[in-house]
Structure 1
């Protein structure tokens, strides 16, 4: 086991490494969530589900709401 000065140096190095890892993880998870939320721009008029692009929205609408008429914004997609 390490003693004295060596122990203190080891602890300082480990705590610095852990703080860097926590900082990296916190930012990347938050940034990814925000970016994913920004990408969901299309909202289904029936069930309020969010989709990233009109093609996915059209597929969702045709599969989940076949009895309803297609919205105007999806007719040309």
Structure 2
């Protein structure tokens, strides 16, 4: 292999560049999406982002179960 050393240097340079790009990017989409899911259904443990969606879910999936008190005044 005539370019063995050059290949290794190129790989190291690329790894350093990729690490810099990842650090510059800051956050990932999965963590942000997971943080947005703050409401959890007490019956099925499904997570929802806002109370309106939570109330719609509860009324459609669990119609026989009484509505939780935090959803009583939410407009769906």
Query: Which bin holds the TM-score, normalised by the shorter protein?
Result: 0.5 to 0.7
What aligned pairs does 1:24-63 form with structure 2 within 5 A after superposition? 31-63=28-60
| Larger RCO, structures 1/2 (Cα 8 Å, 6+ apart) | 2
- Where structure 1 has 5 or more consecutive residues not aligned to the other structure, the ranges are 1-11
* TM-score calculated relative to the size of structure 1: 0.64
Q: What is the CA–CA distance in structure 1 between the aligned matches of 2:60 and 2:52, rounded to whole Å? A: 12
Instruction: Show structure 1 runs of 4+ deviating over 3 A.
Output: none
Measure, in 2, the Cα distance between the counterparts of 1:63 and 1:20.
50
Residues paired across the two proteins, number: 71
Superposition TM-score, scaled by structure 2 size: 0.65
Root-mean-square deviation (CA), in Å? Answer: 2.8
Q: Alpha-carbon deviation of 1:20?
A: 5.9
